[in-house]
Amino acid sequence: MSELVSNKKVGAYHHMVFSVGEIASVAKPGNFVAIAVGGESSQLVLRRAFAIYRTFDRGSSAGLLEIVVAPHGAGSIWLTNQVPGTKIDLIAPLGNAFGIPTEPVRALLVGGGYGSAPLFGLSEVLKNRGCRVDMVLGASTAMKIYAPLDGKRSVSSLTITTEDGSTGTAGKVTDVLPEIIAASQVDIIYSCGPMGMLEAINKIAVDFNIVHQCSIEESMACGIGVCMTCVLPIKGEDGVIRMLRSCIDGPVVDAETVIWDSKRSIPEGTWGAN
């Protein structure tokens, strides 16, 4: 059990901080946390998965873990209604983290809505490695752009796009990517957000022949690889397509290996499908 230290509303989202002790020292950008929601008498029996926004390692008894929550379902609404001091049942860190280059590179981080949360911790790690970091944050409206000031502090350049034009550049994140990639001579793209956005980013990455790591958004009921609700078709190095679990084989994957046009179906030729 972890104690909820802080719960603050930020725009359309809630920024929540938990006391997690030693967990903070091992969590990495791209990992996620699975939280039991609803309380002891609730019928909400499945955990909810949230990307880790950032961690602060302050010793074995004082580590902090931060998440960003959009209250739109029964579980997330329950969580965002909790007050500091409440004990919360959480499991972390889960899943694969982003791959960090051993040498300084030119990195482009692209996030959509609250899905951009893992990119802020990642940008700090990359900057400390001597990387150039450009960031693009996009959402439907200004209220759904998360923590633009945090982005400015940890990147070389920050571009904001909104579909309604209420702030930044009017349009989608993909509208501005080609120009930024060319200007900054980007070596690698890291992305988080809705699946449609990740697919569109991957098409651009392929066109520019750039490595693209993405954190995929699939519903994760257990978070530990048991329930099989978050499977996704991934092509392995051997060329074989397998239905892999996002929670333990992801959520961070090589975007070029994802069979994006499967549209939640099992592609023909998938291992074990016949």
Contact yes or no for 75/37 (Cβ under 8 A): yes
DSSP conformation class of 94:
E
Question: Which pLDDT score is estimated for 41?
Answer: 75
Q: What pLDDT is attached to residue 223? A: 78
Residue positions counted in the chain:
274
Spatial CB neighbours of 97, under 8 Å, sequence gap ≥ 6: 28, 29, 30, 31, 252
Whole-angstrom distance, CA of residue 172 vs CA of residue 91: 34
Say what the pLDDT of residue 148 is. 59
Which pLDDT tens digit goes with each residue over 19-42? 999 899 999 999 999 999 988 877
pLDDT of amino acid 115: 80
The residue type of 119 is: L
Instruction: Provide the token pair at 94.
Output: 């889960």
- Regions of the chain with pLDDT less than 50: none
Determine the pLDDT at residue 122. 93
Q: How many whole angstroms separate alpha carbon 226 and alpha carbon 249?
A: 12
Domains along the chain? 2-94 (2.40.30.10), 106-217 (3.40.50.80), 221-274 (no CATH)
Is 143 within 8 Å of 164 (Cβ atoms)? no
Task: Give the per-residue pLDDT at 252.
Answer: 94
